[in-house]
Amino acid sequence: MSALRQLSALLWGGPLLGAFLLVGLYYSARTGFFQIFRFPLWWRASVGSLLGRKGNKSQAGVTQLQALSTALAATIGTGSIAGVAAAIFYGGPGAVFWMWVSALLGMMTGCAEKILAVRHREKGPDGQWRGGPMEYIRKGLNLPGLAKVYALLCVCETLAGGNLAQANSIATSLSSAAGADRLAVGVVLAVVVAVVLVGGIRRVGRLSELLVPAMAALFLGGGAVVIVCHAQALPEALAQIVQCAFQPRAALGGYGMGLALRYGVARGVFTNEAGLGMSAIAHACADVDEPARQGMWGIFEVFFATLVICTVTALAILTAGVYTPQGALELMASGAVPDTALGAPLTAASFATVLGQAGEWIVAVSLILFAFTSLLGAGYYGRRGLESLTSSRLALGLYQLVFPGCVILGAVADLSAVWELVDLFNGLLAIPNLLALLLLSPEALRLLRDWAGRQGRQQEGREAPVARRDRQRRAGRKKRARSKKK
C-alpha cells in the first residue's frame, strides 16, 4: 500500500495536474474560450435542444440524452459527495476554487474528447456505434498498441474504482443507515447490475435516463435548501474559497496554495473525467451526425457534474458550520481524524443542520444512487475496453461473471488500498488520452470551427426575415408620420 501511495503521489504530484490544466487551457485559448463566450450556442445545442423536440433513436445508437445520462451515471459517483468533502478537509476551502478552474478548462477538454469519439467511431458486430479513446488513438493516431494499453487500463480502473469502491460505498451506507447485511446487499446488487449490463448500452442508457435526473434533483434540492437557510454565511464562504486558493504558503501549519491546487484539480478531474476519456465511450454511441454537436453535450457534462453538483456539496459544507479550517488542521496535526470529520458523513452533517435526520437520509440515498449508476456506467466502459482487446466470446463471458463477482467482493471487503489503485489507474489512463488530444487537436478544432460557423450562418438566416420585417415596420411608421405632417 505504501508503494501504491508513493507511485500515485508521484503521478499526481504536479506534472499530471499541470497537463490537465494545460490541455484544457490550450483548447480554450484556441477556441477563444468557447465555453464562456459561446455559451448560448452550446446551451442551445445541448439542453436547449430537449425543449423543442424529442431525441430520435436509430438502430445504430442511443439518443443524445441517453448518451449524456450514461456518461453522467458513471461520472457523478461517490466523489461528488464524499470526494468533495475530503478535498475541502485536506486541501482547505481554496480547493473549491481550483476545482472550478479545472472544470472550466475541462469543459473544452471534454468537448474535444466527444468530438473525436464520434469522428472515429465505428459500428460493432451488433450494428451499434462504438468508440472512445481506444478508437481515436488507434484510427486517428494509427497507434494500435497504445490503444490496447488504454483499453487494458480502462478495464482495470472500472473493476477497481468503478466497481469495488462503488459497491463498498453502497453496502456501507445501507449497513449504517438500515442495518442491512453487507453480503446480502452485495448479492442483490450484483444480480441487478448483471441483468442491466446484459442489455448493453441501450438498457444502461434507458435506466440512466430515468435515474440521473431523479438523483440529481434529490441531492440538488436538499443542498439548495441548506445553502439558502445559511445564506448569511455564503459571502464568508466565498471569500474563504478565493483567499485560500492563493495563499502563497501554509501559515503556521495552515492550508497553502499547493494543497488547494493539488486536491482541487484532482477532485475536478475525478468528478467530471475530462482528460481521462472514459465518458467519451458513452457519447460515441449517440445517434448524431455532427461530431461537434456531441461535443456540446461534453461541455454540458463537465458543467453539470462539477460546476453544479460539486459546488452545491462544497457550499453546503462551508456554510453549515460543520467544518472550520482551524478545526480540520488541529485534527490532522493530532493524527487522529475521525470518519465523521470528512467524506460523506461531513456532507450528511451539513444537510442535517437544516433538514435533521431527513437531510442525512437524502445524502445516504443520493450516495447509493450515485454509486449504483456509477457501477452501471463502469460496467459498460469495462466491457468496451475488453472488446477492444479481444473478440473472444469466452473472455467477454468471463467478464460478465467477474464484474458482478467484484460487486460482491467490494460490498464485504476492506478496501483501504483500493482508492490508491483508483488514483494510480486514473493517472495512467490520462497519459495516452491527453497525448492523443494534443496530437489530434487540429482535427478536433477544425470540426468545431466548421460546425460553429454553420450554426452562426443558420442563426443569421433565421434572424434575417425578422430584421427585415422590423425595418419595414419602421419605414412604414416614418412614412405615416410624414403623411400626417403634410
CATH 1.10.260.40 assigned to domain 16-44+66-456? The reply is: no
d(CA 349, CA 340): 8
Q: What is the pTM of this model?
A: 0.84
Is residue 1 within 8 A of residue 417, CB to CB? The reply is yes
CA Rg value for the chain: 24
Q: Give the three cell numbers for residue 124.
A: 460493432
Alpha carbon distances (Å) from 74 to 37, 60, 101, 377: 29, 22, 22, 4
- What is the enclosing helix (H) or strand (E) of 122? strand 122-123
For the chain (length 486 residues), average pLDDT per consecutive 10? Answer: 70 80 94 94 85 52 69 69 83 90 93 95 83 93 94 89 80 77 89 83 75 85 94 93 79 69 79 85 86 92 90 93 83 72 80 90 84 83 90 88 89 71 82 95 96 83 59 69 64
**pLDDT, position 484:** 65
Phi and psi, residue 354, nearest 5°: -115, -45
Q: Give the three cell numbers for residue 461.
A: 438566416
d(CA 282, CA 272): 14
**pLDDT, position 74:** 63
**pLDDT, position 91:** 85
**pLDDT, position 252:** 45
**pLDDT, position 178:** 75
List, as one string, the DSSP characters of 243-309: HHHS-SS-GGG---HHHHHHHHHHHHHHHH-TTT-THHHHHTTB--S-HHHHHHHHHHHHIIIIIII
Domain ranges of the chain: 16-44+66-456
Of 102, 96, 77, 8, the closest CA to residue 302 belongs to 102
d(CA 162, CA 157): 7
**pLDDT, position 117:** 95
The helix/strand/coil state of 440 is coil
Of 329, 357, 308, 333, the closest CA to residue 84 belongs to 308
**pLDDT, position 55:** 46
Alpha carbon distances (Å) from 133 to 161, 165, 201: 19, 24, 17
**pLDDT, position 474:** 72
**pLDDT, position 355:** 92
Q: Give the three cell numbers for residue 140.
A: 486517428
**pLDDT, position 279:** 87
